[in-house]
C-alpha cells in the first residue's frame, strides 16, 4: 500500500480512536445508513446527533473538525446550523482497508 494511503488511513483511525468522535461518527452512520445503501448522501443536523454525548459546543466543534479533516465527514453551514454527512469515499476507504486481510 502506498505511503500516502497509509498516512490517510492512519489519520482516519486516529480520529476514530477518540470515543466521543467514534460515537459521533457512528451516530451519523446510523442516521444515514439507508441513504448510503441506496448510494445517496444523507445530511443530518449536528444538533440531532448530539443526543447522549453530553459535550460542550467547543468540544463538539473540535471533534467535528477532526472527523472532517480525516476525510470521514463533510460539513456545511446553513445559518446557525451545521449539517454533517458521511464522506462516502472515506467510508469506502475504511471498508476496503478493514476487509483487505479477511
Tell me how many domains the chain contains: 1
**Residue-range definition of the domain harbouring residue 18:** 3-99
pLDDT, tens digit (0-9, with 9 covering 90-100), for 47-97: 676 666 787 778 888 999 999 999 999 998 888 888 888 898 999 999 998
Above pLDDT 70, what percent of the chain?
Answer: 79
Contact (Cβ atoms closer than 8 angstroms) between residue 70 and residue 22:
no
Q: Would the pTM count as exceeding 0.85?
A: no
Cα–Cα distances (Å) from 63 to 38, 66, 92, 95, in that order, read 27, 5, 21, 21
Q: Give the chain's mean pLDDT.
A: 84
| Segments in 19-56 forming alpha helices (H) | 19-37, 46-49
What CATH number is associated with residue 24?
A: 1.10.10.10
| Predicted confidence (pLDDT) at residue 5 exceeds the cutoff of 60 | yes
- Other Cβ atoms within 10 Å of 65 Cβ, number: 13
Amino acid at each position: 500500500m502506498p505511503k500516502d494511503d497509509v498516512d490517510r488511513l492512519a489519520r482516519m483511525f486516529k480520529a476514530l480512536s477518540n470515543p466521543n468522535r467514534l460515537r459521533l461518527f457512528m451516530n451519523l452512520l446510523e442516521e444515514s445508513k439507508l441513504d448510503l445503501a441506496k448510494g445517496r448522501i444523507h445530511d443530518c443536523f449536528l444538533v440531532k446527533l448530539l443526543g447522549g454525548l453530553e459535550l460542550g459546543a467547543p468540544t463538539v466543534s473540535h471533534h467535528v473538525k477532526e472527523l472532517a479533516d480525516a476525510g470521514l465527514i463533510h460539513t456545511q453551514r446553513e445559518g446557525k446550523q451545521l449539517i454533517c454527512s458521511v464522506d462516502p469515499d472515506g467510508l469506502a476507504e475504511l471498508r476496503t482497508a478493514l476487509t483487505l486481510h479477511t
